[in-house]
Structure 1
Amino acid sequence: MRAAVIGAGIAGLACARQLALAGWQVDVVERADGPRADGYMMDFFGLGFDAAERIGVLPRLRKASYRIGSVEYVDARSGRRTASIDYDAFASALGGRLLSLMRPDLELVLLDALGDAPDGSVRVHYGVPYRASEAADAGTELGARLAGADLVIGADGVHSGVREALFGDETQFVRPLGLRAAAYVIDGAPDLHAEFDGRFVLTDTVDRQAGIYGLRDGRVAAFLAYREDAQEGVDPDEDAPTRLRRVFGGLWSPIDRLLERCPAHPYDDVVAQVVLPRWHRGSTVLAGDGCQAVSLLAGQGASMAIAGAELLTDLVGPCRDAASIEAALGEYERRWRPVVEEKQAAGRRAANTFLPPDRFRLLLRRWALRASTLPVIDALVMRSIAGGTGLKGRTGV
C-alpha cells in the first residue's frame, strides 16, 4: 500500500512514520526547502504526550525539551516583574507529564524518528509545492508514485492546498480570532542571551505582548502577538519585519534590540481555527491544522497533531483496499472531531486572557496569577489549566 503525505510538519511526519511502521510505502512532499527553522516554545502535554509515549518517541522529545522553572510577566516600562507562573506546579498537576519544546525541535525529532521505519519505506521530498506534486503527467518517478497512492493525507497546515482542492477556498473554513502571532530566533546577541538565559519573559501589556527567552545554543527567541483590530488591520503590502517594528517598537528595550535583528521572513500568521463540515473525500483526508487547527490560544496544537495522527494511522494502517480505507477515514473523523471541537471552544474562551483587550482585564489576569500562589487557589488553577485550555492559552507562550 502507498501513501502520499502532503506537508512535512508535525502531523505529516507523525503520519508518515506510523504508516511506514504498518507496512506502507510513504512519500512526503513539502513545499519548503527544508525543516522549518523558526517557531515558538510550546507546552507539550495531554493527549499528544500520551500518544508520543505509545508510539515510542517520548525519550527523544524529553532529550530535546527545555527546563523552564517559571514564566515571568514584566512591566514594559520598568522591566519589573508583575506576576509569574510556576511551571513546576503546572507539571505537578499533570503528574510530571509536561515538556517545553521549541516547535522546530519537535519537527526534527519526528524527522529523525522516520529512521525507525524499514529502510526505504519513507521518502521525504523538500521543495515540492503541492500543485506541482499532484500532477503525474510530468513523467517523473515521484509523480507516478503520488498518482498511484492508495491514500493521500493533507497535512499542509492552516492554509492547506489539499483542503482547497477538496472543498474550496479557505475563506469558508479558516476563522480568524482577531490576533496575529510572529516568532523568530536570532544568533550573535550574547548580551541578550546572558540577560535571558534560563528565563522566559513576557510583557504584561494590553493588545500586544512580546516574549523573549534564551536557548541552550546561545541563540535568543522572540514571540510576538497582537490584536489586529487594535492596529487597524494588516496592510497586505507591508512586509512582516516592518509591521512588527511598527507594532512593537518602543514597547520594551530588549524587544527593540530583538526587532533590530528581525529576519526578512519570520514566522508570521493570523491566529485562526479551521472548521469545516467534512475532513475527507474518497481516499484523501486532512490531518493536523488543515482540519483541526485549534489555534495557539488552546495551547495543544502540537499535542493534538500527534494524537490525531496516531488515531488516523491506527485506523487506516491495517487497510488493504479502497473500501476499508474510506471506512477507516470516516471512523477517524467520527472519533476525533468531538475532541477537536472541545479544544477549539476552550481556545475561543481563552482569547481575552491570552491577550487582554483593556487594562481592566489585564489587571484581572495579573490578580489571578498572583492569587494562584496561594495553596488552595493554586491547586484549583493548575487543575483547571491541566484539564482545560492549557498553559499556553493562559500565558501567550
Structure 2
Amino acid sequence: MITPMVPAQRRSVLISGASIAGPALAFWLDHYGFDVTVVERAPTIRTGGYPIDVRGTAIDVVERMGLLPQIRAAHIASRAMTFVDRASMVIGSVPIYEAICSDTERDVELPRGTLTTLLHDATRNGNIDYCFNDSIDTLRDDGKGVDIGFASGRQARYDIVIGADGLHSRTRRLVFGPEAPFNHSLGFCFNLFSMPNDKGLSHGGVVHAEPGRTAAIWAVQDSPRVFGFLAFATDEAPVSTSRDAEEQIRRMRAAFAGMGWEVPRLLDAMAQADDLYFDSVSQIRMPHWSKGRVALVGDAAFAPSFRSGQGTSLALVGAYVLAGELATRDDPQDAFAAYERIARPFVEANQALATDDNGAFFLPRTQKDIETRDHILAEIIRNGTAGMFDNTKARVHNSLRLSDYASV
C-alpha cells in the first residue's frame, strides 16, 4: 500500500487524456499530493482488447504502483506468429518472445483494455477528478498559471497542464502548433478491427505479405473474436491520412484488390466492424516536450509506433519520471527540463527499434524483403531460433534505471 505524500503547497494539474500515460501520471501525482484532474473526450475508459506489452523498465514502474501481480495474471501468453503464402501454405513461424520480446522475465503481454482498466481502478477512488465527455478547447499560459476553456463551456485555471492525448494530441497543437513538423512517417498506413474467430485461431497470429502489403489475423488466447490487420506502403505525409472511415475502407479495398489468402474476408469484416481503427505508421519526434507550464507525455510527446512494440512502456516510464520530477522541484519548467534530460535517451533508443531494421520482417516493402524474411524462416525450421535473435531489444527495453522518488 502506497502512502500518499503531501507537499507544503498543493499544486493543481490538468491531464488531457485517460488512456495509459494520463492515468499513470495521475496515479503518481496524486501520490505526491497534487490536485489532479483528468479530462477525456470519450464517455468512459476505452477498453479495446488488442494486445500490448509492458516491458523492461516499465515493469519496474508497475511494480512500484503495486499493479505487477494483476498485470502478470493478465498475461495472454501468445505462442507463435505464422507466415503463409496466398494459398494458406505455411512458410514458417517464429516464437513470439524470441522474435519480439527477447526477455520473458521482463515482458508481459496483455489486452490493452485490461491495462487501462487497472490504471483507472487504481486512480478513481483517490482524490483524482475524472471528467469524461469533455476536452480542452482553449489554452492560455500566462506564466503563472494556465487558463483552460473546455469544450463543455466550463472554465478553469491550473498550475500545470499535461497533454497525454495521443498521437494526434490537441494539447500539442494548441501549444506547439500543427502536427506536421513532428509527425514522421514510417511509410505505411494500417487498419485494425475485430472479427469473428471462425477459423479456430488460438494464442497467436497468421501473416500474409506481398511487397508493400501485409495482412494478418491475431488471436488473444482462445477468444471468439480475433483482430484483423491490414497495412500498405505509402509515401504520403502521415497527417494527410483522412479521418473518415468510409474513405479509409475504400482506400483499403483499392490497395488490397487482388490479394490472396484471407484478404477478401478481412476486407468484408473491416467494412462491418464497429471498432475500426486506422492511422499512419508514424512517430512523433519533437525538439522539446514542454513549453512554459505545459508538457507532453506518452504518444503526444514521443509516439514510437507499434513497430517498436514500446508505446505502452514509454508512456508508463515517461509518466513516472515526469511526476517524480514535478514532485521534487518547485518550478515546473525545471521539472520539465529534468524529465526530458532523463527520459529522452531512453525514448530515442526505443524509437530506433522501429527504424533501425525498417521493420521489413513484418512489413516488407519489396520482394527482396520477403525473400530475406523467408530465408530467416527457413533457417529457423532447420536450426531453431538459437542465434537468430540477439538481446539488443532487451537491453534497450531495460536501459533506464529509475530514480527513487520515495523520499519526496
TM-score under structure 1 length normalisation: 0.84
Name the counterpart of 1:164.
173
User: Which stretch of the first structure deviates more once superposed, 91-100 or 53-62?
Assistant: 91-100
Matched ranges for 1:336-351 at <5 A: 336-351=343-358
Q: 1:261 Cα deviation (Å)?
A: 2.6
In the alignment, the residues of structure 2 paired with residue 67 and residue 354 of structure 1 have an alpha-carbon distance, to the nearest angstrom, of: 20
Partner deviation per Cα, 1:156-205 (whole Å, 9 max, x = no partner): 1111111112221111211112111221123xx3524xx21333111143
In the alignment, the residues of structure 2 paired with residue 235 and residue 152 of structure 1 have an alpha-carbon distance, to the nearest angstrom, of: 29
User: Which stretch of the first structure deviates more once superposed, 81-90 or 35-44?
Assistant: 35-44
User: Which stretch of the first structure deviates more once superposed, 63-72 or 247-256?
Assistant: 247-256
SS at match of 1:181: strand
In the alignment, the residues of structure 2 paired with residue 113 and residue 276 of structure 1 have an alpha-carbon distance, to the nearest angstrom, of: 31
In the alignment, the residues of structure 1 paired with residue 149 and residue 307 of structure 2 have an alpha-carbon distance, to the nearest angstrom, of: 42
Instruction: State whether residues 346 and 389 of structure 1, in contact with CA within 8 Å, keep that contact through their aligned partners in structure 2.
Output: no
Instruction: State whether residues 45 and 303 of structure 1, in contact with CA within 8 Å, keep that contact through their aligned partners in structure 2.
Output: yes
Name the counterpart of 2:88.
79
**Structure 2: unaligned runs, 5 residues or longer:** 1-10, 141-146, 399-408
Do structure 1's residue 124 and structure 2's residue 130 form an aligned pair? yes
Name the counterpart of 1:225.
231
AA matched with 1:221: F
AA matched with 2:349: E
Name the counterpart of 1:393.
none
In the alignment, the residues of structure 1 paired with residue 336 and residue 207 of structure 2 have an alpha-carbon distance, to the nearest angstrom, of: 41
Name the counterpart of 1:212.
217
Higher strand share: 2
Matched ranges for 1:263-274 at <5 A: 263=273, 266-274=276-284
In the alignment, the residues of structure 2 paired with residue 120 and residue 226 of structure 1 have an alpha-carbon distance, to the nearest angstrom, of: 44
Do structure 1's residue 364 and structure 2's residue 372 form an aligned pair? yes
TM-aligned CA distance change 1:44 to 1:160, over 3 Å? same
In the alignment, the residues of structure 1 paired with residue 286 and residue 150 of structure 2 have an alpha-carbon distance, to the nearest angstrom, of: 32
Matched ranges for 1:140-179 at <5 A: 143-144=155-156, 147=157, 149-179=158-188
Partner deviation per Cα, 1:191-230 (whole Å, 9 max, x = no partner): 24xx213331111432111221233442221122221249
AA matched with 1:220: V
TM-aligned CA distance change 1:142 to 1:61, over 3 Å? farther
User: Which stretch of the first structure deviates more once superposed, 5-14 or 29-38?
Assistant: 29-38
In the alignment, the residues of structure 2 paired with residue 29 and residue 139 of structure 1 have an alpha-carbon distance, to the nearest angstrom, of: 11
Do structure 1's residue 65 and structure 2's residue 75 form an aligned pair? yes
Instruction: State whether residues 137 and 148 of structure 2, in contact with CA within 8 Å, keep that contact through their aligned partners in structure 1.
Output: no
Matched ranges for 1:192-271 at <5 A: 192=199, 195-215=200-220, 216-229=222-235, 239-262=247-270, 263=273, 266-271=276-281
AA matched with 2:186: L
Instruction: State whether residues 92 and 381 of structure 2, in contact with CA within 8 Å, keep that contact through their aligned partners in structure 1.
Output: no
User: Which stretch of the first structure deviates more once superposed, 285-294 or 360-369?
Assistant: 360-369
In the alignment, the residues of structure 1 paired with residue 49 and residue 151 of structure 2 have an alpha-carbon distance, to the nearest angstrom, of: 36
SS at match of 1:210: strand
Instruction: State whether residues 39 and 183 of structure 1, in contact with CA within 8 Å, keep that contact through their aligned partners in structure 2.
Output: no
TM-score under structure 2 length normalisation: 0.82
SS at match of 1:354: coil
RMSD over aligned CA atoms reads: 3.0
In the alignment, the residues of structure 2 paired with residue 16 and residue 214 of structure 1 have an alpha-carbon distance, to the nearest angstrom, of: 32
SS at match of 2:198: helix
Name the counterpart of 1:47.
57
In the alignment, the residues of structure 2 paired with residue 16 and residue 53 of structure 1 have an alpha-carbon distance, to the nearest angstrom, of: 16
In the alignment, the residues of structure 2 paired with residue 125 and residue 21 of structure 1 have an alpha-carbon distance, to the nearest angstrom, of: 19
SS at match of 2:105: coil
TM-aligned CA distance change 1:95 to 1:229, over 3 Å? closer
Q: 1:377 Cα deviation (Å)?
A: 6.2
AA matched with 2:212: D
In the alignment, the residues of structure 1 paired with residue 277 and residue 149 of structure 2 have an alpha-carbon distance, to the nearest angstrom, of: 34
Q: 1:29 Cα deviation (Å)?
A: 0.8
